Amino acid sequence: MKVFVTGASGFIGSAVVKELISAGHQVIGLARTDSSAKTISDADADVLMGSLEDLDILKQGASQADGVIHTAFIHDFTQYAKANEADTAAINAMGEALMGTSKPLVVTAGILGLPSINGIITEDSAAQNSPRSSEATAMALAEKGVNASVVRLPPSVHDKGDKGFVPFIIQQARKNGVSAYPGEGNNRWPAVHRLDAAKVFQLAVEKGAKGALYNVIGDRGIEVKRIAELIGTKLNLPVASLVGEEAREHFEWMVGFIGFDSPATSFKTQERLGWKPTHIGLLEDMQQNYF
Protein backbone atom coordinates (compact mmCIF):
# COMPACT_ATOMS: atom_id res chain seq x y z
CA MET A 1 0.00 0.00 0.00
CA LYS A 2 1.29 3.49 -0.86
CA VAL A 3 0.41 5.98 1.90
CA PHE A 4 0.64 9.78 1.70
CA VAL A 5 1.57 11.20 5.12
CA THR A 6 1.37 14.88 6.05
CA GLY A 7 3.58 15.95 8.94
CA ALA A 8 5.87 13.07 7.98
CA SER A 9 8.98 14.63 9.53
CA GLY A 10 7.23 15.67 12.75
CA PHE A 11 7.29 14.14 16.21
CA ILE A 12 4.27 11.90 15.59
CA GLY A 13 4.42 11.70 11.81
CA SER A 14 7.99 10.42 11.73
CA ALA A 15 6.99 7.54 14.02
CA VAL A 16 4.00 6.82 11.77
CA VAL A 17 6.28 6.71 8.70
CA LYS A 18 8.60 4.24 10.44
CA GLU A 19 5.66 2.06 11.50
CA LEU A 20 4.22 2.02 7.97
CA ILE A 21 7.53 1.12 6.34
CA SER A 22 8.16 -1.60 8.94
CA ALA A 23 4.76 -3.05 7.98
CA GLY A 24 5.79 -3.19 4.31
CA HIS A 25 4.06 -0.08 2.98
CA GLN A 26 5.46 2.62 0.71
CA VAL A 27 5.27 6.19 2.01
CA ILE A 28 5.10 9.59 0.34
CA GLY A 29 5.88 12.25 2.95
CA LEU A 30 4.94 15.91 2.66
CA ALA A 31 7.94 18.17 3.32
CA ARG A 32 7.87 21.95 3.73
CA THR A 33 11.64 22.44 4.09
CA ASP A 34 14.86 20.82 2.87
CA SER A 35 15.61 19.57 6.38
CA SER A 36 12.17 17.93 6.57
CA ALA A 37 12.76 16.38 3.15
CA LYS A 38 16.05 14.91 4.36
CA THR A 39 14.39 13.43 7.45
CA ILE A 40 11.72 11.80 5.29
CA SER A 41 14.22 10.58 2.70
CA ASP A 42 16.49 9.14 5.41
CA ALA A 43 13.49 7.12 6.62
CA ASP A 44 13.31 5.47 3.15
CA ALA A 45 10.16 7.35 2.16
CA ASP A 46 9.51 9.38 -0.99
CA VAL A 47 9.26 13.16 -0.65
CA LEU A 48 6.61 15.53 -1.94
CA MET A 49 7.58 19.17 -1.38
CA GLY A 50 4.83 21.50 -0.20
CA SER A 51 3.02 22.90 2.82
CA LEU A 52 -0.46 22.54 4.32
CA GLU A 53 -1.49 25.67 2.42
CA ASP A 54 -0.52 24.13 -0.94
CA LEU A 55 -3.90 22.54 -1.63
CA ASP A 56 -3.02 21.41 -5.17
CA ILE A 57 0.05 19.60 -3.80
CA LEU A 58 -2.09 17.92 -1.14
CA LYS A 59 -4.54 16.76 -3.79
CA GLN A 60 -1.62 15.45 -5.85
CA GLY A 61 -0.24 13.47 -2.90
CA ALA A 62 -3.65 12.02 -2.08
CA SER A 63 -4.30 11.08 -5.71
CA GLN A 64 -0.95 9.30 -6.05
CA ALA A 65 -1.51 7.18 -2.93
CA ASP A 66 -3.71 4.27 -1.87
CA GLY A 67 -4.46 6.01 1.42
CA VAL A 68 -3.75 9.20 3.39
CA ILE A 69 -2.70 9.84 6.99
CA HIS A 70 -2.97 13.48 8.04
CA THR A 71 -0.83 14.25 11.11
CA ALA A 72 0.29 17.79 10.21
CA PHE A 73 -0.98 20.86 12.06
CA ILE A 74 0.44 24.38 12.29
CA HIS A 75 1.31 24.49 16.00
CA ASP A 76 1.10 28.24 16.48
CA PHE A 77 -1.22 28.48 19.47
CA THR A 78 -1.06 32.28 19.38
CA GLN A 79 -2.92 32.10 16.02
CA TYR A 80 -5.00 29.02 16.65
CA ALA A 81 -8.00 30.08 14.54
CA LYS A 82 -5.77 30.62 11.52
CA ALA A 83 -4.07 27.24 12.03
CA ASN A 84 -7.49 25.58 12.32
CA GLU A 85 -8.66 27.18 9.06
CA ALA A 86 -5.58 25.86 7.25
CA ASP A 87 -6.16 22.39 8.72
CA THR A 88 -9.81 22.35 7.63
CA ALA A 89 -8.93 23.43 4.08
CA ALA A 90 -6.20 20.79 3.87
CA ILE A 91 -8.52 17.97 5.01
CA ASN A 92 -11.21 19.04 2.55
CA ALA A 93 -8.70 19.23 -0.32
CA MET A 94 -7.45 15.70 0.31
CA GLY A 95 -11.00 14.46 0.81
CA GLU A 96 -11.98 15.97 -2.53
CA ALA A 97 -9.14 14.06 -4.21
CA LEU A 98 -10.37 10.79 -2.64
CA MET A 99 -14.07 11.33 -3.39
CA GLY A 100 -15.55 8.44 -5.35
CA THR A 101 -12.86 5.98 -4.20
CA SER A 102 -12.60 3.63 -1.23
CA LYS A 103 -9.14 4.97 -0.32
CA PRO A 104 -8.85 5.66 3.43
CA LEU A 105 -8.27 9.14 4.85
CA VAL A 106 -7.11 9.04 8.47
CA VAL A 107 -7.35 12.43 10.19
CA THR A 108 -5.78 13.46 13.50
CA ALA A 109 -7.92 15.11 16.18
CA GLY A 110 -7.77 15.64 19.94
CA ILE A 111 -9.32 14.16 23.07
CA LEU A 112 -9.02 17.24 25.28
CA GLY A 113 -12.34 18.94 25.94
CA LEU A 114 -14.59 16.30 24.40
CA PRO A 115 -17.84 15.66 26.33
CA SER A 116 -17.71 12.76 28.76
CA ILE A 117 -20.15 9.86 29.04
CA ASN A 118 -20.66 8.86 32.68
CA GLY A 119 -17.52 10.83 33.53
CA ILE A 120 -15.28 9.31 30.84
CA ILE A 121 -14.51 10.27 27.23
CA THR A 122 -15.16 7.25 25.01
CA GLU A 123 -15.33 6.68 21.26
CA ASP A 124 -19.01 7.59 21.51
CA SER A 125 -18.22 11.09 22.81
CA ALA A 126 -18.99 13.47 19.94
CA ALA A 127 -17.02 16.66 19.36
CA GLN A 128 -19.21 19.69 20.00
CA ASN A 129 -18.10 23.30 19.58
CA SER A 130 -14.46 22.20 19.54
CA PRO A 131 -11.88 24.92 18.75
CA ARG A 132 -10.26 22.40 16.37
CA SER A 133 -12.46 21.39 13.42
CA SER A 134 -10.52 18.37 12.14
CA GLU A 135 -12.90 15.75 13.51
CA ALA A 136 -16.04 17.52 12.31
CA THR A 137 -14.46 18.07 8.89
CA ALA A 138 -13.53 14.39 8.55
CA MET A 139 -16.98 13.25 9.66
CA ALA A 140 -18.63 15.57 7.11
CA LEU A 141 -16.48 13.98 4.39
CA ALA A 142 -17.47 10.51 5.59
CA GLU A 143 -21.14 11.49 5.24
CA LYS A 144 -20.38 12.45 1.62
CA GLY A 145 -18.91 9.01 0.96
CA VAL A 146 -15.20 9.54 1.63
CA ASN A 147 -13.63 6.64 3.57
CA ALA A 148 -12.58 8.99 6.37
CA SER A 149 -11.86 8.08 9.99
CA VAL A 150 -10.39 9.96 12.94
CA VAL A 151 -7.55 9.14 15.32
CA ARG A 152 -8.00 11.13 18.55
CA LEU A 153 -4.83 11.90 20.46
CA PRO A 154 -4.62 12.83 24.15
CA PRO A 155 -2.96 16.13 25.20
CA SER A 156 0.31 14.34 25.92
CA VAL A 157 1.78 12.13 23.21
CA HIS A 158 5.09 11.47 24.92
CA ASP A 159 8.55 10.15 24.09
CA LYS A 160 12.09 11.51 23.76
CA GLY A 161 11.98 14.63 21.59
CA ASP A 162 8.51 15.74 22.74
CA LYS A 163 7.94 19.47 22.11
CA GLY A 164 4.32 19.58 23.24
CA PHE A 165 2.37 20.52 26.35
CA VAL A 166 4.48 18.77 28.99
CA PRO A 167 7.82 20.28 27.89
CA PHE A 168 6.11 23.69 27.91
CA ILE A 169 4.89 23.11 31.49
CA ILE A 170 8.46 22.20 32.48
CA GLN A 171 9.80 25.29 30.68
CA GLN A 172 7.35 27.55 32.54
CA ALA A 173 8.34 25.99 35.88
CA ARG A 174 12.01 26.74 35.18
CA LYS A 175 11.21 30.25 33.94
CA ASN A 176 8.97 31.21 36.88
CA GLY A 177 10.73 29.31 39.66
CA VAL A 178 7.62 27.35 40.62
CA SER A 179 5.95 24.16 39.37
CA ALA A 180 2.31 25.14 39.12
CA TYR A 181 -1.05 23.48 38.61
CA PRO A 182 -4.48 25.09 38.18
CA GLY A 183 -6.88 25.23 41.14
CA GLU A 184 -6.93 21.98 43.09
CA GLY A 185 -5.03 20.20 40.32
CA ASN A 186 -7.31 17.18 40.40
CA ASN A 187 -8.33 17.52 36.76
CA ARG A 188 -7.04 14.58 34.72
CA TRP A 189 -5.14 14.36 31.46
CA PRO A 190 -4.91 11.18 29.41
CA ALA A 191 -1.64 10.35 27.66
CA VAL A 192 -0.11 7.87 25.22
CA HIS A 193 3.40 6.95 24.12
CA ARG A 194 4.27 8.14 20.63
CA LEU A 195 5.08 4.60 19.40
CA ASP A 196 1.72 3.27 20.61
CA ALA A 197 -0.01 6.12 18.78
CA ALA A 198 1.92 5.41 15.56
CA LYS A 199 0.66 1.82 15.58
CA VAL A 200 -2.96 3.01 15.66
CA PHE A 201 -2.42 5.19 12.57
CA GLN A 202 -0.97 2.20 10.73
CA LEU A 203 -3.90 -0.04 11.70
CA ALA A 204 -6.46 2.67 10.91
CA VAL A 205 -5.20 3.18 7.36
CA GLU A 206 -5.09 -0.59 6.82
CA LYS A 207 -8.49 -1.55 8.22
CA GLY A 208 -10.25 1.50 9.63
CA ALA A 209 -13.98 1.92 9.03
CA LYS A 210 -15.63 4.88 7.35
CA GLY A 211 -16.78 7.38 9.99
CA ALA A 212 -14.95 5.61 12.82
CA LEU A 213 -13.54 7.48 15.82
CA TYR A 214 -10.47 5.93 17.43
CA ASN A 215 -9.29 6.97 20.91
CA VAL A 216 -5.53 6.48 21.38
CA ILE A 217 -5.12 6.17 25.14
CA GLY A 218 -2.35 4.73 27.31
CA ASP A 219 -2.76 6.51 30.67
CA ARG A 220 -6.51 7.06 31.10
CA GLY A 221 -6.16 10.14 33.31
CA ILE A 222 -3.27 11.54 35.33
CA GLU A 223 -4.05 14.35 37.77
CA VAL A 224 -2.30 17.53 36.60
CA LYS A 225 -1.12 18.06 40.19
CA ARG A 226 0.89 14.81 39.97
CA ILE A 227 2.62 16.10 36.85
CA ALA A 228 3.45 19.36 38.64
CA GLU A 229 4.73 17.48 41.70
CA LEU A 230 7.06 15.36 39.59
CA ILE A 231 8.40 18.49 37.87
CA GLY A 232 8.91 20.17 41.25
CA THR A 233 10.83 17.16 42.56
CA LYS A 234 13.02 16.88 39.47
CA LEU A 235 13.80 20.62 39.32
CA ASN A 236 13.92 21.14 43.10
CA LEU A 237 11.21 23.80 42.86
CA PRO A 238 8.21 24.60 45.07
CA VAL A 239 4.84 23.30 43.87
CA ALA A 240 1.89 25.67 43.97
CA SER A 241 -1.75 26.03 43.02
CA LEU A 242 -2.49 29.06 40.84
CA VAL A 243 -5.84 30.57 39.87
CA GLY A 244 -7.09 33.60 37.97
CA GLU A 245 -4.54 36.12 36.71
CA GLU A 246 -1.63 34.28 38.34
CA ALA A 247 -2.52 31.13 36.38
CA ARG A 248 -2.85 33.13 33.15
CA GLU A 249 0.55 34.72 33.66
CA HIS A 250 2.23 31.42 34.47
CA PHE A 251 0.69 29.20 31.78
CA GLU A 252 0.36 31.93 29.11
CA TRP A 253 -1.32 30.53 25.93
CA MET A 254 -1.74 27.16 27.60
CA VAL A 255 -4.09 28.45 30.32
CA GLY A 256 -7.07 27.48 28.16
CA PHE A 257 -5.93 23.85 28.01
CA ILE A 258 -4.37 23.13 31.42
CA GLY A 259 -7.68 23.10 33.32
CA PHE A 260 -9.52 20.48 31.25
CA ASP A 261 -10.63 17.34 33.05
CA SER A 262 -10.63 14.76 30.26
CA PRO A 263 -10.14 11.17 31.46
CA ALA A 264 -10.59 8.81 28.52
CA THR A 265 -10.65 5.17 27.50
CA SER A 266 -9.86 3.30 24.28
CA PHE A 267 -11.72 0.00 24.75
CA LYS A 268 -13.59 0.13 21.43
CA THR A 269 -10.45 1.16 19.55
CA GLN A 270 -8.53 -1.75 21.03
CA GLU A 271 -11.30 -4.15 20.07
CA ARG A 272 -11.85 -2.81 16.54
CA LEU A 273 -8.19 -2.50 15.55
CA GLY A 274 -6.65 -5.27 17.64
CA TRP A 275 -4.40 -2.74 19.37
CA LYS A 276 -3.06 -2.44 22.89
CA PRO A 277 -0.70 0.19 24.34
CA THR A 278 2.55 -1.50 25.36
CA HIS A 279 5.03 1.30 26.07
CA ILE A 280 5.76 3.17 29.31
CA GLY A 281 3.36 5.73 30.77
CA LEU A 282 3.81 9.49 30.91
CA LEU A 283 5.15 9.84 34.47
CA GLU A 284 7.75 7.10 33.94
CA ASP A 285 8.73 8.62 30.59
CA MET A 286 9.11 12.03 32.24
CA GLN A 287 11.33 10.51 34.94
CA GLN A 288 13.59 8.93 32.32
CA ASN A 289 13.66 11.37 29.43
CA TYR A 290 12.30 14.86 30.18
CA PHE A 291 14.90 16.45 32.45
What is the rounded average pLDDT for all residues in the chain? 95
The pLDDT tens digits for 122-180 are 999 988 767 789 999 999 999 999 999 999 999 999 999 999 999 999 999 999 999 99
Sign of CA dihedral 240, 241, 246, 252: positive
Name every residue whose Cβ is closer than 8 Å to that of residue 187 and which is 6 or more positions away in sequence: 223, 224, 259, 260, 261, 262
Instruction: Determine the pLDDT at residue 77.
Output: 67
The pLDDT tens digits for 61-102 are 999 999 999 999 877 766 778 888 999 999 999 999 999 999
- Cα-Cα-Cα-Cα dihedral of 159, 126, 144, 89, to 10°? -50
In the Cβ-directed half-sphere of 62, how many Cα atoms lie within 13 Å?
31
In the Cβ-directed half-sphere of 95, how many Cα atoms lie within 13 Å?
27
pTM: 0.95
- The architecture that CATH gives domain 2-155+190-219+263-280 is 3-Layer(aba) Sandwich (3.40)
Pinpoint the alpha helices (H) of 108-239. 134-143, 165-176, 194-207, 224-235
E strands, the chain, are 2-6, 26-31, 46-49, 67-70, 104-110, 147-153, 156-158, 179-182, 188-193, 213-215, 219-223, 239-242
For the chain, which residues make up each domain, given as ranges? 2-155+190-219+263-280
